[in-house]
């Protein structure tokens, strides 16, 4: 039997919403656990958390991070990163006054802004965006989302941008149209695999709360579940989309996300220059720890 330090944390949760559940295992080194064991734990936790993050400290303020869903390894998982890094700055005294932390992921080295004291949040710099050339037609997207093609808003382009995950961005006319979307898991998974898409993010300017800028929903069938209720990487791709199309207004973009009209999760986006002078989208929020203890494996 082997024991690991384990927490279950809901990222982007608010007083009215449940957030997005992530599991997190603290290790002395990522070499302490095999790839097979990482996947096995994520499979055992299917339905309880959406992804599991594995983290090890390698320097004074530097960490290695890997992520697994029940289906496969994930190159980058935004909500798990928020959950883990928020917990670290909240619960570990040596990091509470560190303004910046560094994480190493399969999408590169990224900065974490510690704003726990000022905003009860951490902000994560998203990976550099990669835009795909091959984009599905609106009619095929509508068919696989099980909506009428007229509900896609032709005033805005459909794009595929990878800012951690390959994200199909689909403009929808209004919030009611977004809330009615109920696709089939298996059919949508086949569609995503066909176009090498990790997730589908639908969005509209029509919001429930006037403090919000956009409403989004994210579907993630290739990870073994239909909906991701609060997303860092998908909304980061959306942030780059807004920048490219001159739709970013103001300093902070406030996004309400999930399939519930009133009890939505909140994801915040901000812009920041990286060390090379490139504009990068940072996503931010807080988290709530639900369970902590030991995770035990027997083989």
pLDDT at 97 over 90: no
- 172-200, pLDDT tens digit by residue? 999 999 999 999 999 999 999 999 999 99
* pLDDT at 22 (0 to 100): 97
pLDDT at 299 over 90: no
What tokens were used for 228? 């991701």
Burial of 246 (0-12, 13-18, 19+ CB in 10 A): exposed
- 107-118, pLDDT tens digit by residue? 999 999 999 999
Residue 76: φ, ψ to 5°: -155, 135
* pLDDT at 15 (0 to 100): 81
pLDDT band at 40 (very low <50, low <70, confident <90, very high): very high
Please give the DSSP secondary-structure letter assigned to residue 67: E
Rg (CA), the chain: 18
Q: What is the pLDDT averaged over residues 206-233?
A: 96
Helix (H, G, I), strand (E, B) or coil at 13: coil
Distance CA 138, CA 13 (A): 32
The mean pLDDT value of the chain amounts to 95
* pLDDT at 145 (0 to 100): 98
Percentage with pLDDT > 90 across the chain: 94
CA distances from 249 to 81, 212, 217 (A): 26, 12, 21
* pLDDT at 14 (0 to 100): 83
Q: What number of other Cβ atoms are within 10 A of residue 1's Cβ?
A: 6
* pLDDT at 16 (0 to 100): 83
Could you tell me the domains of the chain?
Answer: 2-124+285-297 (3.10.310.10), 130-284 (3.10.310.10)
Burial of 99 (0-12, 13-18, 19+ CB in 10 A): exposed
Q: Taking a C-beta distance cutoff of 8 angstroms, is the pair 222, 187 a contact? A: no
Helix (H, G, I), strand (E, B) or coil at 78: helix
């Amino acid at each position: 039997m082997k024991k690991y330090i384990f927490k279950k944390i809901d990222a982007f949760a608010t007083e009215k919403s449940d957030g997005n559940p992530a599991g997190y295992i603290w290790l002395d080194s990522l070499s302490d656990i095999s790839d097979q064991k990482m996947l096995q734990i994520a499979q055992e936790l299917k339905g309880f958390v959406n992804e599991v993050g594995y983290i090890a400290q390698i320097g004074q303020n530097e960490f290695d991070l890997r992520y697994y869903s029940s289906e496969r390894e994930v190159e980058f998982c935004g909500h798990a990163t928020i959950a883990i890094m928020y917990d670290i700055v909240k619960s570990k005294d040596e990091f509470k006054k560190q303004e910046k932390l560094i994480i190493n992921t399969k999408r590169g080295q990224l900065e974490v802004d510690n704003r726990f004291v000022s905003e009860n949040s951490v902000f994560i710099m998203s990976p550099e965006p990669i835009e795909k050339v091959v984009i599905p037609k609106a009619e095929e997207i509508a068919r696989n989302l099980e909506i009428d093609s007229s509900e896609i808003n032709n005033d805005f382009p459909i794009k595929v941008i990878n800012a951690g995950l390959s994200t199909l961005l689909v403009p929808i006319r209004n919030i009611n149209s977004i809330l009615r979307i109920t696709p089939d898991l298996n059919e949508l998974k086949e569609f995503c695999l066909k176009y090498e898409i990790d997730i589908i993010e639908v969005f509209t300017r029509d919001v429930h709360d006037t403090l919000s800028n956009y409403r989004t929903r994210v579907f993630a069938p290739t990870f073994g579940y239909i909906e991701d209720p609060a997303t860092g990487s998908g909304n980061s791709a959306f942030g780059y989309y807004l920048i490219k199309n001159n739709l970013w207004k103001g300093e902070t973009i406030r996004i309400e996300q999930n399939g519930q009209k009133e009890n939505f999760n909140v994801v915040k986006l901000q812009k920041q220059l990286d060390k090379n002078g490139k504009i990068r989208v940072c996503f931010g929020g807080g988290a709530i720890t639900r369970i902590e203890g030991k995770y035990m494996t027997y083989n």
